[in-house]
Amino acid sequence: MSTPTLIELTSKKCVPCEGDVPPLSPDEAKALLEAVADWSLSHDGQRIRREWIAKNFMAGIDFFEKVAALAESEGHHPDLHLEGYRNVAIELWTHAAGGLTENDFILAAKINEIPIQLKRH
């Protein structure tokens, strides 16, 4: 199996899975991770995560609304975290598979295309 590129991931659509899809191997997950900038693999290799520092609370909420609309259209729903009023994090994993599938990387690639107003340093 060849590893999809970023362009290939963003052109794909998440496919429904009801537990009939096995999770990716650690090597497959690491290879796909290279296609989605700024996402990291959890220590147990079961999830991917990305963090942002939004400009303010409403910038974080606006970003989450856009992510929610995308997730709903893809039928694949991430865990969204907002802490300290502007620290935004998203975790992806395929609940039905008990780990990562290509769907997680498809959604991560598409989330990376959503603009977010960031805090200036």
Q: Quick one: DSSP state of residue 118?
A: B
Q: Which residues contact 68 (CB under 8 A, 6 or more apart)?
A: 80
Tens digit of pLDDT for each residue in 79-117? 999 999 999 999 999 999 999 999 999 999 999 999 999
Tens digit of pLDDT for each residue in 23-33? 999 999 999 99
Domain encompassing residue 83: 27-111
Residue 5, domain member (yes or no):
no
Residue 44, domain member (yes or no):
yes
Closest by Cα among 2, 9, 10 to 31 = 2
Tens digit of pLDDT for each residue in 45-84? 999 999 999 999 999 999 999 999 999 999 999 999 999 9
Residue 13, domain member (yes or no):
no
What CATH number does the domain containing 94 carry?
Answer: 3.30.1360.20
The whole-model pTM stands at: 0.93
Distance CA 14, CA 101 (A): 10
69 touches 61 (CB < 8 A) = no
Q: Number of structural domains, the chain?
A: 1
